[in-house]
Structure formats: structure tokens, C-alpha cells
Amino acid sequence: MSLLLRGRTTKSTWEMAKAEPVCPPETMDSEDMLFMLYTSGSTGKPKGIVHTQAGYLLYASLTHKYVFDYKQGDVFGCVADIGWITGHSYVVYGPLCNGATTVLFESTPTYPDPGRYWETVERLRINQFYGAPTAIRLLLKYGDEWVKKYDRSSLKLLGSVGEPINHEAWEWFYNVVGEGRCDLVDTWWQTETGGICISPRPSESDGEIIPAMAMRPFFGIRPTLLNENGKVIEGGDVSGALCIAQAWPGMARTIYGDHQRFVDAYFKTYPGYYFTGDGAYRSDEGHYQITGRMDDVINISGHRLGTAEIEDALDEHPDVPETAVIGFPHDIKGEAAFAFVVLKDGITLTEQAIKEDLKSIVATKIAKYAIPDHILMVKRLPKTRSGKIMRRVLRKIAGGNTEDLGDITTLEDPTIITEILEAYHKYKTEEAAK
Ligand code: PRX
């Protein structure tokens, strides 16, 4: 740093020289805010999730130690961006609380080539490698050679986070990357939970791992499944809304500046429980598998986005009065966005020009990864008599299931569906011709 500064603005160099090399620690209350991270919910406005000092740090450090079986001297490699919760908890706070050597990965999995992760593993002798399924799905398409080229003998454990990991990705990560000798943990948690809540813990005596399953609650976590009437679902081989029945140290304390929204978003749907927004399955053995979001939140390449957030951005276009954004399954990204866009009458721009505008609005207002893969211009959106968009029908169309759209008798005007399907088939034909 000093070398870089020398010869440049000497004034600032002197200013730096005047500063104390040691910053005295500040005493904080255990419940003082540690940081705030914005995340998406099912409405357009992102939520500033607040974590506090003691509980969060305790939870991040304990989960880091026990889930990843961290031992003193290990080199811990979480390749998430530190701007997200995974980077906060498992690049910065968890490992550093435990005195670990932690890796800051600043590239992308394919730059300069698809061997980047494994070259990093070899060069830094990484012991635990923690990444996202979307990257694994992408890398497996490049073949095994990019992995095998590098020495991965330092690896002891692999981890997956942020979205459901499909079986193909799990098996490739386990067998090719981990050579079938490293434990692979699928870890479920959220920005709001502060740290991992459900995950196998292979270091323990009952450390069996079932592929692609988050399996076990961490210490102090009481997962509970509830049905649509708010009743607890008992037993095995059952599915329901995933809730947590008791507070834990790492849980978020509030939404910055809007405590009521915090209460409404997480504690109102199922009184007495924290509602995660996810659905889950519990097997006869009591193991949990996350089945996906139950609200209008989608997960694109591990990035959590409210469909309303994308709709708000699209609606900013002066020629666009209304939109509906739906998630659909995508081979590599896990999910992608499909936008149904209504245009005003008498527009002067071409549809293509409006599409380009819409993409750049989303890229600027949210991020590039939020740009819908498909933008379909439609005359109207299918609404029920009470004015609600019938999203389940759009979800089927976005997923390519145009044959059986289910019951549409409650639509105000069912002929809208014929219109949308016509536009959809025309769009698909044009896409195929490209
Ligand atoms: O839907 C779940 C999914 O990601 C959501 C949380 O997103 P975010 O707050 O951005 O935090 C991501 C990193 C922890 C969850 O509500 N999710 C996270 N991990 C998994 C998962 N879905 C399935 N399996 C997982 N292991």
C-alpha cells in the first residue's frame, strides 16, 4: 500500500502516517447492531435485515466449527461474495471468530477458465470448500478434466448453499471434485437466520449423509412443518410450510426502520412460529429436504429476488402499465424469470426496442442477473374477478406446460388465456428460428 502511494499524493501519505496503527476496540452491547443486509421478500421493497453483535457471532462461529468440522490450522474456502450473507457468515465472521485462515475469492468460476476454483484449491491448500449449486451445475458441463488437472488432496469437506442442489450436481461435486472421499453437506439457511439451520454434521457419530438433503437441524433449531390451517404436521413422509418453533442466537432482530414489517413478514402467518417462506419435506427418519419457496420469491443462480421487485422495475417504463414476473426451472441458474408485459395502446417504439429498454432498466435498478430470460408482450394479464393475477396459470405457461392449465373458471375473462397462448406460441416459434 505504501509503495503504491509513494510518489503520488504525498499529502494523503502524511495523513495516513499520522493515524494510530492500532484502533482501540469499542465496547458494544450484545444487542447492538452488527450489520444490516438488504434482502428480497415477496413485496417490491427490499428488507434491511438487522443482525446484532453477540448472538450472530456466536451462531456464525459455532456453525462454522461444527458443520464444516473446522480444525485449527485448516484453510477455509467459501467462494461467496462477501456482499451477501454467505460471505458475511462464512468468509468473514464465522471463520475469523474461530481464528481460521479464510479465503477471499474474487474471480468467477469460469475466469480465466473453468478450472479456477480447483486451481485455487491446489494453490491455497483449501481444506473446506463451500459454494453454490448454480456454479457446480455450470462447471460440470465443462467436463471433469478441468477438475482433475489440479491437486485436490487438501480437501476434506465440501458444502453447498443458497438453493436446492439437484442430484446430478450433488453426485458430480461429491464424486469428481471430492473424489468420493470428502463429506458433502447441503446447508439450508437464510439471510434472516444468520447462519446454517439445517445441514448434515458428518463429524458427529451419527454423521450419515443422504445426497441432496439438508437433513438435520443445528443445535437449538426446532424445525416444524405446518399445514395451510396453521396446524403442526406430525410424523414422517410429510410436507408443509417450514417454520422454526423457538428463537435461536443468530436470528435477525428486526427490519431496519420497520419493526412491524418484521413481525408481519415472519411471525403473523403462523402465530408463535418463525415462518421461513420455504416448504419442506420430512422423511420417515425425520430428515428434512427443502422443496422451495412458497411465496413469490425466486432464486436465480443463488440470488434471492422477489418477483414484485422485478415487476416494479419493469413497470417504470413509460410504455408499460402492467407486468407479471414468474419463475421457471432453468438447467444452470436453478430458476429464471419469465416476464409477461402489457404495453400501452399507441406506443411509438418497436417491441424490440422496448424489450431492450426493459432489460437495461432491470440491470440498472436491480442487477444483470435479474434480467428476465423471456419477455412476452401480451394484451392483458389473466385476472380473477377480484382483480388478482392468476399466477398459477402464468407459472404453467412460463414452464412450457400449455396443455393443462387447471381450473380457469374464476377468471374474469377466460379468453385472455387464448390470447396469451397465441402470443406465447408465436414467441417460441420466433425464438426457435433465431
Ligand atoms: O429458499 C431458500 C434458499 O435460499 C433462501 C434464502 O436466501 P438468502 O437469504 O439469499 O440466503 C442464501 C444463503 C443462505 C431460502 O429461503 N436456500 C438456501 N439454502 C438452501 C436453499 N434452498 C434449498 N436448499 C438449500 N440448501
Domain assignment present for residue 313? The answer is yes
Quick one: cell of 294? 412458497
307 and 181, same structural domain? Answer: no
310 and 169, same structural domain? Answer: no
Domain assignment present for residue 374? The answer is yes
Whether residue 207 is predicted with pLDDT greater than 80 in this model: the reply is no
CATH code for the domain in which residue 64 is found: 3.40.50.12780
Tens digits of residue pLDDT in 41-94: 877 788 999 999 999 999 999 999 999 999 999 999 999 999 999 999 999 999
Q: Which atom of ligand 1 is nearest to 187's Cα?
A: 26
Q: Which residue has the higher pLDDT, 58 or 388?
A: 58
pLDDT for 44 equals 73
CATH code for the domain in which residue 327 is found: 3.30.300.30
Number of folded domains that form the chain: 2
pLDDT-derived band at 21, boundaries 50, 70, 90: confident
Whether residue 405 is predicted with pLDDT greater than 60 in this model: the reply is yes
Domain assignment present for residue 7? The answer is no
Separation of CA 1 and ligand 1 centre (Å)? 38
pLDDT for 9 equals 52
pLDDT for 5 equals 37
Whether residue 123 is predicted with pLDDT greater than 60 in this model: the reply is yes
The answer to whether 381 and 375 have CB atoms below 8 angstroms apart is: no
Mutate to test the pocket of ligand 1, among 89, 185, 190 (most ligand atoms within 8 A of CB): 190
Boundary of a domain, candidates 292, 319, 340: 292
pLDDT-derived band at 434, boundaries 50, 70, 90: confident
Domain assignment present for residue 180? The answer is yes
Lining ligand 1 with CB less than 6 A are: 39, 85-86, 161-164, 186-191, 214, 276-278, 290, 293, 299, 304
In terms of residue numbers, what domain contains 158?
33-292
pLDDT for 10 equals 59
243 and 104, same structural domain? Answer: yes
306 and 288, same structural domain? Answer: no
Residues 339, 373: Cα–Cα separation, whole Å: 8
228 and 369, same structural domain? Answer: no
349 and 219, same structural domain? Answer: no
Q: Which atom of ligand 1 is nearest to 86's Cα?
A: 13
Mean pLDDT across the chain:
93
Tens digits of residue pLDDT in 96-106: 999 999 999 99
Domain assignment present for residue 13? The answer is no
Nearest residue by C-alpha to atom 12 in ligand 1: 162
pLDDT for 4 equals 38
pLDDT-derived band at 367, boundaries 50, 70, 90: very high
Nearest residue by C-alpha to atom 26 in ligand 1: 188
Whether residue 8 is predicted with pLDDT greater than 60 in this model: the reply is no
Tens digits of residue pLDDT in 314-330: 999 999 999 999 999 99
